[in-house]
Structure 1
Amino acid sequence: MVTGHIVRSGVMAAGAVFAAGVALTPAHAADDIRQAITDGKVAIDLRYRYEYADDDAVSKDANASTLRTRFGYTTAAFYDFTAALEFEDITVVGTELYNSTLNGKTSYTVVQDPPLTEVNRALIQYDGLADNVFRGGRQRITLSNQRFVGNESWRQNEQTYDALSVVNTMLVDTELTYAFLTHVQTPTGVTMESKSHLFHGTYSGLPLGKIDGYMYLLDLDGTNDSSTLGGRFSGKQVYDQWTSLIYGVELAIQNDYADAPNSVDANYFAFEIGGDTSGITVMLGYEQLGGDGTYGFQTPLASKHGFNGWADMFLTTPAAGLEDLYGSVGTDIGTLKVLGVYHNFSPDSGGGDYGSELDFIVTQTFARRYDVGGKLAMYDADSFAADTLKMWLWVSTAF
């Protein structure tokens, strides 16, 4: 695995500067530093998960039993600065009977939860300039609905970014975000070098919803380089205690950038509408990732598991593109949540059908901090990939 040596060096340098500062600053400043440390907060996050995966194209089914442990600490403010450090460990419980993509066990079905220990976050934040938040270091970045930039929280190893970022809220009902990425810590345990720029803005002052506009200039290790320009409108109208209307539409264009080939040229379109009545939510949606047989619209930094089916058959968009027509029904009964989703997949160009998928999830929260859940994904192949069944059981808590 390639490691984020720049961040490690930065953390060591920050530690040296901090130690020197304690030794050389006046007594009252040293007291302030000590108070910032002693008044800080510790955070612990645990999630055990069992995943079963059966891909008909692979000889052996996967049985992945893993425990994710996060241990983090955030200081209190020191002259408008705070610092955070978080470690993440993924441990195999029992025998490693799956292909993690790093362990060489290619006879097993893939489960992208490799065992590893890493620095998940290491950053300094500055809040001293009104209506601005500056962050430098390894950090979590999620934009809009995470269709293009997210932390892929479903995987045991969270996706984080070595970056400089600023969030500005100076304008009424407006949030502007810029980030420069130097590395991407992917869920598979591989670090991608980056010289990427993220521009994102949200305006929420409209009566019918909010508008997101964005430009993502991705320069990622020579792969998945692209320029994406787009916008999203989404909203929810509440009519009474029991009834609401939910809707959203999004458009984007993707072209070549940095070292991308000239063939990078594709469009994106998504539309969703639904409603909630008497505690039952029904949604219908359509998503199109364009493709011409040479190149398909890609979203390499997205929280991909939440889109195009939980069986993860379309983490990389096929060259012929992807059309996903889907519907869902869900309900909440107290802290019990139940959801079912159906997908029909087809290529954007060339005709035919890829396949269909049926997904179910049930989750329950206990005592506000303990979560248990079960999840099922059944992909029925037509012309793309092979029949695939995946099942998950988990329990998690955070302190």
Structure 2
Amino acid sequence: MKKKTICLAIASSFVAGGFAAGAHAQETFTEQLSNAVSEGSIKLDLRYRFENVDDDAFNKDANASTLRTRVTVQSGMVGAFSALAEFDNVSEIGSDNYNSTANGNTDRPVVADPKGTDINQAWLRYGQEDAYGAYGRQRIVHGNQRFIGGVAWRQNEQTYDGFRIFYKGDTGLTLDYAYVYNVNRIFGPDDSNAQPADLHGENHFARADYRFAEHHNITGYFYSLEVDEDRGYAPGKTVGNSSETYGVEYDGKFGPVTAKAAYARQSDAGDNRLDYDADYYMVEGGFSVVGINAKVGYEVLGSDNNVGFKTPYATLHMYQGWADKFLVTPDDGIEDIYLGVTGKLGPVKLGAFYHDFSAEDSSEDFGTEWNLVGTWPVNKQFSTQLKYANFSSDSERYSDVQKVWVTLQLKL
């Protein structure tokens, strides 16, 4: 009964638009409203995480015990219209012995999971899954999230306010364009002294994927970021991220062998006071045999005029090591040589990864990192994960750090 009441409230807000569009005109108002409720859904997602950070730059460890509670309400179709509302709450379980970027505990390492309640998504969509237009706060994930992602690893996900047009055809072509005027960052829901919760501005995300053969895809993209200046923060936090990026990438498979390659060029844009043109490139090869997957890769975020290639909207935790030492590209760029092996031991998924970091614009050695992970999907509703990162450096610029995560997740 509760489910029907909530879905009814959402459906009522846009059902009139369905009639205006002329879709399914033969149906009565009551029939369309009933369809929106009966085909709607309510989902609950609980994710508890304990995160320990031992950073040599601090005398105290960070120990973060947090719970993210997510409620997602989605309507059924009303003509060609549908809607979704998603609410997140991040709460601390026990003490707050970590720097959330908002709690003022600057004597401990950062664990960027501030407590609070926020609207994670709230959108109205016209069309189906393979072709639609949407307006509102929404999740936008492009490809491997190297440039545009959701940062779903953190408890407060990154989502985007704006318009989006998506098309996936039968010929292998996929087109995706979004105009975004606000980015809801992981540091929200409220601004802190360290980080703004939102980045306002005029952003254009355009991406075209083409599957030209089975298991072979090529992608072109253009990202124009014009971030408004917030005078409460240093330019590097806001307007300093304004840029234009053009790029292309390839993803293919030859039997048990996989191959990936990418190149992008980035320049300053808008009111950015920086002046630079930097390159990004990546090559990766992998193979699979008897359930074991291995890969080796080389990724470079370049530098120009003492400015490193910027990826402010990426899911950065997926790249350059889980210790998150390089969330902002160093001024002299960064090179990452990496190896990885994944497989299964019974029902448990295992992974081990190694990184060797150095400067792109000099010969400085930044350090090395080991990452280990084990994930046990107990059933469709409940999963557990143990994860470890160890970064070691002889450079004066970077401190040694170890991180441990224990995650429990329940989806209903």
Shift of 1:333: 3.4
Give the TM-score normalised by the residue count of structure 1.
0.90
**C-alpha distance in structure 2 between counterparts of 1:170 and 1:236, whole Å:** 22
Shift of 1:26: 12
Give, in whole Å, the separation in 2 of the partners of 1:109 and 1:395: 23
Aligned to 1:219: 226
1:1-399 matches, cutoff 5 A: 18=14, 28-127=28-127, 132-170=131-169, 172-189=171-188, 190-207=197-214, 209-221=216-228, 222-238=239-255, 244-292=256-304, 294-383=306-395, 384-399=397-412
Question: Percent of aligned pairs with the same residue?
Answer: 37
TM-score normalised according to structure 2 size: 0.88
Distance 2:264 2:110 in 1: 31
Equivalent position amino acid for 2:344 in 1: D
Q: 1:209 to 1:107 in 2, by over 3 A?
A: same
1:21 deviates by 8.1
Paired AA for residue 237 in structure 1: F
3-state SS in 2 of match to 1:32: helix
Letter in 2 for 1:297: F
Number of aligned pairs? 380
User: Aligned partners of 1:293, 1:268: CA distance in 2, in Å?
Assistant: 15
Q: 1:292, CA displacement in angstroms?
A: 3.5
- Which stretches in structure 1 are left out of the alignment for 5+ residues? 1-13, 239-243
Q: Deviations over 1:90-125 (max 9, x none)?
A: 110001110001111100110011111000000001
In 2, the alpha carbon distance for the partners of 1:170 and 1:273 equals 29
- Aligned-residue offset at 1:370: 1.2
2:227 partner amino acid:
L
Q: 1:235 is matched by which residue type in structure 2? A: G
The answer to whether the 8 A contact 1:293-1:349 is kept is no
Partner amino acid, structure 2, of 1:338: L
More deviation, 140-149/38-47: 38-47
CA distances 1:237-267 after superposition (whole Å, capped 9, x unpaired): 22xxxxx111100000000111123523100
1:338 deviates by 0.6
> SS of 1:37's equivalent?
helix
The one-letter code matched in structure 2 to 1:343 is H
**Amino acid in the other structure paired with 1:82:** S
Contact 1:180 1:196 in 2 (8 A): yes
CA shift, 1:207, in A, is: 4.1
RMSD (Å) for aligned C-alpha atoms: 2.3
1:375–1:78 Cα change, 3 Å:
same
**C-alpha contact 2:65 2:94 (8 A) present in aligned 1:** yes
Which residue of 2 is the match for residue 4 of structure 1? none
Structure 2 residues without counterparts, runs of 5 or longer: 1-9, 19-24, 189-196, 229-238
CA distance in 1, matches of 2:106, 2:393: 21
SS of the equivalent of 2:28 reads helix
Compared with structure 1, are the counterparts of its residues 40 and 348 closer, same or farther at alpha carbon in structure 2 (3 Å cutoff)? same
Q: Which amino acid aligns with 1:94?
A: G
The secondary structure found in structure 1 opposite 2:166 is strand
Provide the rounded CA distance (Å) in 2 between the counterparts of 1:187 and 1:233. 30
Report the 3-state secondary structure (helix = DSSP H, G, I; strand = E; otherwise coil) of the residue aligned with 1:368.
coil
Contact kept, 8 Å, 2:11 with 2:83, in 1: the verdict is no
The answer to whether the Cα contact below 8 Å between 2:154 and 2:186 also exists between their aligned partners in 1 is yes
Q: Evaluate the alpha carbon distance shift between residue 33 and residue 342 of structure 1 in structure 2; reply closer, same or farther with a 3 A threshold.
A: same
- What residue identity is the alignment partner of 2:240? T
- C-alpha contact (below 8 Å) 1:293/1:321 kept by paired residues: no
Aligned with 1:141: secondary structure?
coil
Distance 2:136 2:208 in 1: 22
Distance in 1 of aligned mates of 2:93 and 2:120: 21
Tell me the CA shift for residue 219 of structure 1: 1.2
CA distance in 2, matches of 1:293, 1:353: 20
SS in 2 for 1:219: strand
Contact 1:165 1:180 in 2 (8 A): yes
